A = this chain, B = another copy of it.
Amino acid sequence: MNSAPLSGLYAPSLSLLTDLYQVTMAYGYWQQGLQDREAVFHLYFRRAPFEGGYAVAAGLAYAVDYLQNLKFSEDDLTYLGSLKSSAGGAMFPPEFLQYLRELKFTCDVDAIAEGTVVFGNEPLIRVQGPLLQAQLVETALLTLVNFQTLIATKAARIREAAGSDTVLEFGLRRAQGVDGGLSASRAAYLGGADATSNVLAGQRFGIPVKGTHAHSWVMAFEDEATAFTAYAKAFPDDSVFLVDTYDTLEGVRHAIKVAREMRANGHELGGIRLDSGDLAYLSREARALLNEAGFNNVRIVASNDLEENLITSLKQQGAKIDTWGIGTQLVTAYDQPALGGVYKLAALRKPDDSGWDFTIKLSEQLAKTSIPGILQVRRYETDKGQPRADMLYNVAEPLPEQLTLVDPLDATRRRAVRLDAPYRELLEPIFRRGELVHTLPTLQESRARAHREVLSLDPSIRRFLNPHTYPVGLEESLNTFRTKLILEKRTVRPA
């Protein structure tokens, strides 16, 4: 047990960042001689979060980092060796620990680039390789990709509501742990935030950092105007005064008084910030006071549990807000704090190496039944690059000449694909036999991609309330095969 829970948390190894059952299954496969049987897993979610029409893929850079450094350290192995079975013996024999000691990640990994818009059932990551290894990485991949995709999507929705206004993320204090804050800052920026308050995220990821002062700053001085003057002395060109410590509109008047002093010294106040009360009313009143005093360029920053629906409502009410500060609602994805991504076995090399067994997980709900095959996602686009429909197909089988997309939830809903329709394949090679073969884009590039891709979606898919469903279909022969497999595996009971 470690009494210093933060110290050296991630160094040197994250190999134990997994559910125990990954390790017990690894032992079982090893014992059965199945460790190297070639397997294919897909990581995907079933429904876009927030009852929305799309998601923004994120987390791949973390996943790559995790996979590149996957190695059991001696500390890891000592811990695994210390685990006991109920009967009192070691849970894992030394021979298996030795196997883990020598284990190297040798899988192929294909993935959809961060910042791509994605939809339910589409594999964000496909892992192909030795069964034991491909299984072992499940938990960490899900942890990293589920959360960051969730937050990037939330940020894209907030960006949608904010339009061209500035969006600041400052949720660290309400985040779910250190990395719940840090990786949220990264994903929020990727999805559309302009800056973060999180200094560590600024340092590690090159995200612009922003921030001014807290209520305590004002409380530490004799009066509000003195506090503002002192702050302006420290940051003559970057001051945003928080005006609601005592009385918001009085605060605005004090800000104007200090802004006049600043102007007399050749500086301009950057903005004021409202953090409580009726933001629609207060922002209009503040704008009027500022303009009347000749401070038309002083920005109004607003915060206080804001999210996309509140931003939309405030805009409809004529709020005069230039910059939106978003904390809790963004970094925790408050209205849906988890994306239910899963990682499912979809193919297994036949024991005699004569081809593939495609596998399926049944469920009483068709939506939860998995999709067999070695899947690729083909996105058909208009000539202008607007997505029209996505097709999931099995790369291990030949494609028919005429392609038809079948709705996985309603096989009677179909779309024919024009033979000359332009498309791109979304899953790209990332690892080959455990070696990174892909140059990861910078965070800025992924952010630009997210921006471009979200805007390329039809507004009916981007809207918050009952969005239009973007068509994602199974290629017809894949759907036929899946149906056959379901019927084979499902028990037929007497009525």
**Inter-chain contact B24/A234, CB cutoff 8 Å:** yes
Interface residue from B214, B345, B490 paired with A247 (Cβ < 8 Å): B490
A291 interfacial contact with B, CB 8 Å: no
**Inter-chain contact B5/A205, CB cutoff 8 Å:** yes
With A4-B65, A20-B197, A363-B276 in contact, do A182 and B9 touch (Cβ < 8 Å)?
yes
Q: Interface code A198-237, partner B: CB below 8 Å = 1, 0 otherwise?
A: 1110111110011111111101100000000011011111
A87 interfacial contact with B, CB 8 Å: yes
**Inter-chain contact A19/B199, CB cutoff 8 Å:** yes
- Tell me the residues in window 170-207 of chain A with beta carbons closer than 8 Å to chain B beta carbons: 170, 172-184, 186, 197-200, 202-206
A8 interfacial contact with B, CB 8 Å: yes
A360 interfacial contact with B, CB 8 Å: yes
- Tell me the residues in window 37-95 of chain A with beta carbons closer than 8 Å to chain B beta carbons: 37, 39, 41, 61-62, 65-66, 68-69, 75-76, 79-80, 83, 85-87, 91
Please name the residue on chain B nearest to A68 by beta carbon.
Answer: B4
Of A97-105, A327-335, A377-385, A457-465, which stretch is located at the interface?
A: A327-335
With A220-B29, A230-B32, A334-B337 in contact, do A177 and B174 touch (Cβ < 8 Å)?
no
**Inter-chain contact B200/A14, CB cutoff 8 Å:** yes
**Inter-chain contact A20/B491, CB cutoff 8 Å:** no
- Tell me the residues in window 361-389 of chain A with beta carbons closer than 8 Å to chain B beta carbons: 361-364, 368
Residues of B within 8 A of A75 (CB): 203
**Inter-chain contact A181/B17, CB cutoff 8 Å:** yes
**Inter-chain contact A1/B182, CB cutoff 8 Å:** no
Residues of B within 8 A of A85 (CB): 235, 237-238
Distance A362 CA – B214 CA, assembled complex (angstroms): 13
**Inter-chain contact B1/A443, CB cutoff 8 Å:** yes
**Inter-chain contact B219/A345, CB cutoff 8 Å:** yes
Distance A341 CA – B327 CA, assembled complex (angstroms): 13
Q: How far is the CB of A280 from chain B (nearest CB, A)?
A: 15
A250 interfacial contact with B, CB 8 Å: yes
Of A139-147, A307-315, A411-419, which stretch is located at the interface?
A: A139-147
**Inter-chain contact B131/A220, CB cutoff 8 Å:** yes
With A65-B7, A199-B16, A247-B491 in contact, do A25 and B238 touch (Cβ < 8 Å)?
no
With A2-B204, A23-B199 in contact, do A219 and B338 touch (Cβ < 8 Å)?
no
Distance A391 CA – B321 CA, assembled complex (angstroms): 42
**Inter-chain contact A143/B172, CB cutoff 8 Å:** yes
Residues of B within 8 A of A143 (CB): 172-175, 177-178, 181
With A247-B491, A345-B216 in contact, do A175 and B147 touch (Cβ < 8 Å)?
yes
**Inter-chain contact A21/B211, CB cutoff 8 Å:** yes
**Inter-chain contact B180/A180, CB cutoff 8 Å:** yes
Interface residue from B6, B65, B80, B135 paired with A66 (Cβ < 8 Å): B6
Q: 24 A-B residue contacts at CB 8 Å?
A: A3-B442, A9-B9, A10-B10, A14-B178, A17-B182, A19-B170, A20-B211, A22-B214, A25-B213, A28-B233, A29-B220, A41-B216, A79-B199, A131-B220, A144-B177, A147-B176, A173-B341, A216-B359, A219-B359, A219-B361, A220-B359, A246-B491, A276-B363, A334-B338
> Can you add 11 more A-B contacts, CB < 8 Å, to A20-B211, A25-B217, A28-B230?
A5-B205, A9-B204, A17-B181, A21-B214, A23-B199, A24-B213, A32-B230, A139-B173, A142-B173, A144-B177, A333-B337
Top 8 closest pairs, chain A to chain B, by CB = A20-B211, A21-B211, A1-B206, A176-B176, A337-B337, A177-B179, A180-B180, A142-B173
Report which A residues bind B (CB closer than 8 A): 1-11, 14, 16-25, 27-29, 31-32, 34, 37, 39, 41, 61-62, 65-66, 68-69, 75-76, 79-80, 83, 85-87, 91, 131, 135, 138-139, 142-144, 146-148, 170, 172-184, 186, 197-200, 202-206, 209-217, 219-220, 230-231, 233-238, 245-247, 250, 270, 276-277, 328, 332-334, 337-341, 343-345, 348, 359-364, 368, 440, 442-443, 489-491
